[in-house]
Structure 1
Amino acid sequence: MQRIKCRVLDVRPFSDTVYHIRLEAPKGLHFEAGQYLKVVLSEEDKRPFSIASMAGEDVLELHLGAFGPDSWAMQVVEYFQSHAEVELEVAAGHAHLREESQRPLILIAGGTGFSYVRAILRRALKLNPDRAIQVFWGGKDPSALYLHQEMLALAAKHPNLAYRPVVEHKPADFDGLQGLVLDKVKEFNPDLSGFDIYIAGRFEMAAVARDLFLAHGAVSDNLFGDAFAFI
C-alpha cells in the first residue's frame, strides 16, 4: 500500500448518521474500483473505509456511517474535522471490479456499504454504459439511502441499470421495496449462475448472502466482497 497525505476539502453530513468526506486526491493516484483505504490516526490505529470515488478524479470520497458521539467512525469524522491534512494508506482489497468480465452485474449494499457499490457501478458504466446492472440498496428506512436521488437519476439515464431500493420500514409515499435486501435479490433472480455479484455490508449479512446465493446457483469465483476474506 502507498502512504500519501491528502488535504481535507469538506466534511458534511449526508444525513443524521452518514458523513461525506472529500479529500484532495494526489495526481496519478491509482486504485481499483471497489478497493478501500486506511485512515492513519497513528501507527497503531489505521481504520479502513471503502473509496466511493474513481481513480483519476480530483477528489477522494468516503462515506462514513457514524452512530453515536463515541462511535468508531465518529472518531474518524472528528479527526477529519480537526485536521487540514490527513495521512492515508491506499489501496487494499481484492473484491474490486473485474474489468475483463462482461457478465451482468448484481451490486448489493447495506447502509454505507453503498460507497463500495457506487465506485464499482460508476466504473462499470464508464467502461460499458450498456452493461446490464442491478443495484440493490438496503436500509432500515428511506433515510438510510442517503444518495437515493442520485441513484434514481442514474437509473433514468441508463435503461439497462435497474435500481432496487429496499427498506424494512416503508412509508406509503416511498417508491421502493419493503423487506430484506437479500430476499429481494433472490426474488428477482432465482437463478444467479450467470452473474458477477458484489456485496458490501455487515459481516453477518455477507455470510448469509454467500450461503444463500451459492444455493441459488451463484459461482463462488464470481462472488465478491471484502468480508469474505474474514468469514
Structure 2
Amino acid sequence: MQRIKCRVLDVRPFSDTVYHIRLAAPKGLHFNAGQYLKVVMSEEDKRPFSIASVAGEEVLELHLGAFSPDSWAMQVVEHFQSQPEVELEMADGNAHLREDSKRPLILIAGGTGFSYVRAILRRALTLNPDRHIQVFWGGKTPEALYLHNEMKALDATHANLKYIPVVEELPADFDGQQGLVLDVVKAMNPDLSGFDIYIAGRFEMAAVARDLFLAHGASSDNLFGDAFAFI
C-alpha cells in the first residue's frame, strides 16, 4: 500500500460518541469508493478505518466511533487532535463499489459503518443519478444516525433513492422504522436476487446478514463487505 502524509484540517464531534476527521488529500490520490485506509500509529500499530469521502476531492473524511475515553478509536481521535500531520497507508479492501454493475443497490450500515456506505452511495450517484438505491442505516437511537439530515436531503433530491433509518428505540416524533436493520431489509425485500448488496457493521452483524441474505436469493458474487474476508 502507498504511504502518505496528510495535514489534519479538522477534528469535530458529530455526536457524543462519533468524531468527524477531515484531512487534506494529496493531489492525484486514487482509491475506490468503499475502501479503507490505515492510520499509522507506529510501525507495529496500523488501524483501519473506512474512507467516507471519494477520490478526487480535496478532503479525506473519516467517521470514528469512540465510546470510551481510552478506547481503540479514541486513541486515534487523540492522535489526530495532537498531530498537525499524520501518516496513512492507502488504500485497502476488496468490498469497494463495482462501477461496471447496473444492478440496483442495497446499502446497509450499522453505526459508523455508514462511512463505508456514504462513499459508495456518493460515487454511485455520480456515475448514475437515476440508479435504484436503498440505504438502510441502523442504530440504537436516532442520535446514532449522525448524518440523518444529509441522508433525508439526498432522498428528497433523487427519485430512485430510498433512505430507510432503523432504530431499536423509536421516539414518537422520528420518521423511521423500529427494529433491527437486517430484519427491515428482509421485510422490504423478500427476494434479494438481482441486487448488489454492500454491508458495513460489526462482524457478528455481517455474519448473520450473509446467511440471511443468501437464504433469500442474494448471490454470493454480488454480496460485499470487508468483514466477509475475516468470517
SS in 2 for 1:103: coil
**Aligned counterparts, 1:91-110, within 5 A:** 91-110=91-110
**Aligned counterparts, 1:53-72, within 5 A:** 53-72=53-72
Q: What is the one-letter code of the residue matched to 2:39?
A: V
**Aligned counterparts, 1:208-219, within 5 A:** 208-219=208-219
Which residue of structure 2 lines up, in the alignment, with residue 126 of structure 1?
A: 126
Q: What is the one-letter code of the residue matched to 2:178?
A: Q
Shift of 1:106: 0.0
**Aligned counterparts, 1:71-90, within 5 A:** 71-90=71-90
Which residue of structure 2 lines up, in the alignment, with residue 190 of structure 1?
A: 190
Question: Where do 5+ consecutive residues of structure 2 fail to align?
Answer: none
SS in 1 for 2:126: helix
Number of residue equivalences: 231
RMSD between aligned alpha carbons? 0.2
Shift of 1:71: 0.4
Distance 1:172 1:46 in 2: 43
Tell me the alpha carbon deviations over residues 41-78 of structure 1, each in whole angstroms, 9 at most, x when there is no partner: 00000000000000000000000000000000000000
SS in 2 for 1:37: strand
Which residue of structure 1 lines up, in the alignment, with residue 165 of structure 2?
A: 165
TM-score (norm 2): 1.00
Shift of 1:5: 0.1
Tell me the alpha carbon deviations over residues 142-179 of structure 1, each in whole angstroms, 9 at most, x when there is no partner: 00000000000000000100000000000000000000
TM-score (norm 1): 1.00
Q: What is the one-letter code of the residue matched to 1:148?
A: H
User: Is 1:114 paired with 2:114?
Assistant: yes
Percent identity, please: 86
Tell me the alpha carbon deviations over residues 69-105 of structure 1, each in whole angstroms, 9 at most, x when there is no partner: 0000000000000000000000000000000000000
Distance 2:133 2:141 in 1: 23
Question: Where do 5+ consecutive residues of structure 1 fail to align?
Answer: none
Which residue of structure 1 lines up, in the alignment, with residue 179 of structure 2?
A: 179
Tell me the alpha carbon deviations over residues 164-204 of structure 1, each in whole angstroms, 9 at most, x when there is no partner: 00000000000000000000000000000110000000000
Which residue of structure 2 lines up, in the alignment, with residue 44 of structure 1?
A: 44
Shift of 1:14: 0.1
